Structure 1
Amino acid sequence: MRQFKALVRGGLVRGVDGFARDRGGNFAVLFGAAASVLALGVGFAVNISQLYNARSSLQSVVDAAVTSTARDLTLGVIKEADANASVQAFLDANSTAGILQANQIVLDTLTIDRTAKTVQADVHANIGLYFPLFSMGNMQRVTTSTTALYSDKKVEVAMMLDITGSMAPNRRAKTNKIGDLQAAASQTVRDLLGQNRDPSDPRIRVAIVPYAEAVNTGGLAGTVFVETEDGPKVPPPIDAPLSVSLTTAPDKCATERKDKGGYADFSSDGPYALRRDNKGKTYQAKVNRDYRMRVCPSAALIPLTADEDKLLDTIGHFSAAGVTAGGIAAQWGYYMLSPSWRSAIADARLGAGPANFDQKKVAKIAILMTDGQFNTAFARGHGAAVWQDQGETSRANAEAICENMKRDGIEIFTIGFDLNDPSMTTTERDQAKSVLEDCSTDDTSSLKHYYEAATGAELSDAFGEITRNIEKLTINR
């Protein structure tokens, strides 16, 4: 009996050991289970991605549809009775956006609130899933809602465009950055002004501020005070003899406006604003032309206008030369959007000038573009160190002005063009990016404000997205 038990015990041990050593079956079972879980995970991830993309596409289409309809209602292009058909027609025409397919978008409700002055659309699309899983079924409904302001909100856009020497065509590198800018800026003007329905009462107007070492003020040259090396740094008193106030201007360019202490003035005050000099005498706050300035850009600024041909002609004649005075560029962009400059612009017969700061009635937009480091300034702000170099001063001035602009409700977009150019040092590149990021308005979940573009195509894309973002500023989800 003991031998039998030992035999059985030994055979059982050897059998179990053999089974344990034979892992072919175990591996197949485990692999099958793992593969099933992996397939479920991949399928679930694909479905989530599909639904996310569908919702994003749906949101973009309904945003555009409702914004367009609200604008048409405001301008009297359509009547309220036509609004439903207008939205549905837009949805049908753009129903294949992203991964959506034709006729997938369904308008559930359209609500026009005359008191709140809003147009709200609720829509859905039924999406066929690639991997139906468990209770998800073959179809999933994606819904979204958008509300657009039903108002006659005006839009004023000031474009501060870099036309410095580094923008010139480069045969060796086979680049033509000034040409890229001309193409992108021209298309932006067309896209923006193309939205105006009534030429006599345009909803959108655009100003252009080409800049390099200074800004050519063009028809606003009468707002410039021409300094001399040994003379005062502010204009003569308003009661001074006429001969005292006469100074020959070699060009129409301006640098920073200075206060009586010679420091940069970051306000948006108009040139007719009154100041007191160190002797208590009253003078007008004209903008300085520093005597050290050497190269005046040939392209002059254009105040706010809806004259597309005038803007395109100016852009078409851009010529690249000079260094980069970014602080001066920001200053003049501020002026072009400030109602304090309305009288001076009207007196120069350059248009009606900017509207008042009123975010409920007017969207004021600044676009600051450069291809390099701000490196030139002629006046530093109060409190700045005396040893501060021109580059640091220019960047600090620009940031101070940008803060004032944002305080006044101006939305600032910035574009860095070809900032990774190998000719720039790491420090120069970092400084260029930093000032643009600091100047721009903070991003939101739906609006980006700082862009980088490496090529002409990317520059056009950046301007195009900013144009679309300007329209999004009227969206209130």
Structure 2
Amino acid sequence: MRNYGGLVHAVGVFARHRGGNFAVLFGLTASVLALAVGFSVNVTQLYNARSSLQGVVDAAVTSTARDLTTGVTREADANASVQAFLDANSQAGILPADQIVMDRLIVNRTAKTVRADAHVDVALYFPIFNMGDMKRVAASTTALYSDKTIEVAMMLDVTGSMGPNVWAKTNKIGDLKVAASGAVKDLLDNNIDPKNPRVRVAIVPYAEAVNTGGLADSVFVETKGGPDLPPPVDAPVSVSVTLAPDKCATERKDKDGYADTSSDGPFTSRWDNNGKEYLAKINRDDHMKTCPTPELIPLSADEDKLLDTIDDFSAAGVTAGGIAAQWGYYMLSPSWRSTIVNAGLSAGPANFDKRKVAKVAILMTDGQFNTAFAGGRGAPNSQNAGQMSRGNAEGICGEMKRDGIEIFTIGFDLNDPTMTVTERDQAKSVLQDCSTADTSSLKHYYEAATGAELKQAFDDIVRNIEKITVAK
């Protein structure tokens, strides 16, 4: 205490020794400090007001752009929509209540943008210099909207490892049903007119093969010791008819027995090594053992039909990820439109046109791709089924991305202790390679350890599909 007392005494002596100069100096210093503090407070106040205003305008314009995209709001009503949002949110934060003024709103039909300019007059806490009592703060936001339609193909793993595990107390197929059903509902909620849906979803359950359901006419059934190609188109009817034990399909094979990764329709003409014309149907390999029970559903806006299919999922079989990617590609390819239409299943996929349609693939698995019946041309003959499956999947994903399809992938429970480190790494690698490259604002590869995380991954992907980018 005596030390502090000595310091106070010394300051007093210094002040008395300098006469009245110290008091004058102290007064000047205090005035400068007060002005600095006041200016700092004003700057902070204006910064916070501008930040708050920008946030409100961003949200108003983004919300309106999203409503324009989904059809909730018409272009003629965009002004009222933004103003209503500003009015509803001007009570929040540090902004003066009901004082946000929208200076202009521009809906650019060519660029598909919504731009709003707004301002608010802020009463300063410390009016100093020539700042006056009020200061105007302005903000501007431009958001994109779209009249694109959306087509989503969901390739979902229903293999045996997805089944309930009493010891681990898990039910991955149940978790998948919840997550996928929620995604379908959220996607189709964007449809205002059921007769003219903006969003359609295809479901491709897969295991060792894909159950083609109503598209079974597109399948060529191999026989033991028989050819890998369908018979020539001019072959006798008796030769061209083979009874199918089920509706499943594996890879499509080319004339040399390699996997044909193209998205061509099944009734496209091909020529064998003898110059004979045949149809490019999809093989059902004679070595295939287990046909998944759930059937694929081509693009549809029928929510009940899609949800019923997911609800009927059951787990069995091994993981043919390359076959899954192949059928997801078919469901988004316009080359399959006539086949799907002729089967009476739906209107089929639209043409590839980024200006008019967004095509999205979601590939989900809980493990390593380990099954294939044909490898890619040029691959080493020493490849095993897993290597072929992963190679085919990556090749098909590359084709999809070149066609403008956005690919999201989900690895579910990939850290399962029953998997080896190699299996885990290979599973993650193929999913990362298949997915579209991430951007600063858009994530494409997800890992989920639990059912809750799986649902969150699907929820995030649905939001990303409808993501609106705000350019400030």
TM-score bracket for this pair, using the shorter chain length: 0.7 to 0.9
Residue 464 and residue 333 in structure 1: after superposition, are their counterparts in 2 closer, same or farther (change >3 A)?
Answer: same
Match of 2:296 in 1: 301
* Alignment correspondent of 1:167: 162
Provide the aligned C-alpha RMSD in A: 3.5
Question: What letter is aligned with 2:438?
Answer: D
TM-score (norm 1): 0.81
Aligned-partner Cα distance in 1 for 2:93–2:242: 62
Gap runs ≥5 in structure 1: 1-24, 26-45, 128-138
- Structure 2, unaligned stretches of length 5 or more? 1-6, 8-43, 123-134
Partner residue of 2:345 out of 342, 345, 350:
350
The residue number in structure 1 matching 2:435 is: 440
Q: Which moved more, 1:95-104 or 1:156-165?
A: 95-104
CA contact (8 A) 1:304 1:353 kept: yes
Instruction: Please report how far the alpha carbon of residue 82 of structure 1 lies from its aligned counterpart in structure 2 after TM superposition.
Output: 2.1
Is the counterpart of residue 148 in structure 1 residue 131 in structure 2? no
Q: 1:369 corresponds to which residue?
A: 364
Q: 1:80 to 1:246 in 2, by over 3 A?
A: closer
| Contact 1:53 1:99 (8 Å CA) reproduced | no
Residue 71 of structure 1: aligned partner: 69
SS in structure 2 of the partner of residue 472 of structure 1: coil
Aligned-partner Cα distance in 1 for 2:283–2:199: 31
Which residue number in structure 2 is paired with residue 10 of structure 1? Answer: none
- Residue equivalent to 1:16: none
Distance 1:248 1:438, change over 3 A: same
What is the SS of the residue equivalent to 2:466?
Answer: helix
Query: CA deviation digits over 1:416-442, x for unaligned, max 9?
Result: 111111111111111111111100011
Matches within 5 A, 1:278-289: 278-289=273-284
Deviation at 1:472, TM superposition (A): 1.5
- Counterpart amino acid of 2:175? D
| Structure-2-length-normalised TM-score | 0.81
Shift of residue 147 of structure 1?
Answer: 2.1
The letter of the residue matching 1:254 is A
Q: Distance in 2 between matches of 1:86 and 1:343?
A: 41
1:414 aligns to what SS in structure 2? Answer: strand
State the distance in 2 between where 1:54 and 1:347 align: 56
- Deviation digits for residues 87-121 of structure 1 (CA, Å, limit 9, x no counterpart): 34446667899999998987554211234343223
- Aligned-partner Cα distance in 2 for 1:202–1:68: 16
Match of 2:30? none
Deviations 1:148-201 (CA, angstroms, capped at 9, x unpaired): 23x431100000001111111111111111111100110111111111011111
Identity score, percent: 68
Across the two proteins, how many residue pairs are aligned to each other?
A: 426
Q: What's the counterpart of residue 121 of structure 1?
A: 116
Q: What residue identity is the alignment partner of 1:145?
A: T
Deviation at residue 58 of structure 1 after TM alignment: 5.9
Asked whether the 8 Å contact 1:67–1:475 carries over to 2, the reply is no
Which residue does 1:310 correspond to in 2?
305
Q: Map 1:163-242 to 2 at 5 A.
A: 163-242=158-237
Contact 2:64 2:73 survives alignment (8 Å): no
CA distance in 2, matches of 1:418, 1:191: 24
Q: Matched residue of 2:115: which SS?
A: strand
Q: Distance in 2 between matches of 1:432 and 1:117?
A: 40
Query: Are 1:411 and 2:409 an aligned pair?
Result: no
Q: Deviations over 1:282-319 (max 9, x none)?
A: 00000000001101000000000100000000000000
Asked whether the 8 Å contact 1:152–1:361 carries over to 2, the reply is yes
- Aligned partner of 2:23 in structure 1 is none
- Alignment partners' CA distance in 2, 1:66 and 1:295: 49
Indicate how the Cα distance of structure 1 residues 318 and 79 shifts in structure 2: closer, same or farther if over 3 A, else same. Answer: closer
1:374: how far off? 0.6
Counterpart of 2:251? 256
Paired residue secondary structure (2:208): coil
Distance in 2 between the 1:101 and 1:172 partners? 60
Give per-residue Cα distances to partners, 1:427-463, cap 9 Å, x unaligned. 1111111111100011112111111111111111111
The structural deviation recorded for 1:256 is 0.3
Give the aligned residue type for 2:430. V
1:328 to 320, 323, 326: 323
Amino acid at match of 1:114: R
Matches within 5 A, 1:44-83: 61-62=59-60, 64-71=62-69, 75=71, 77-83=72-78
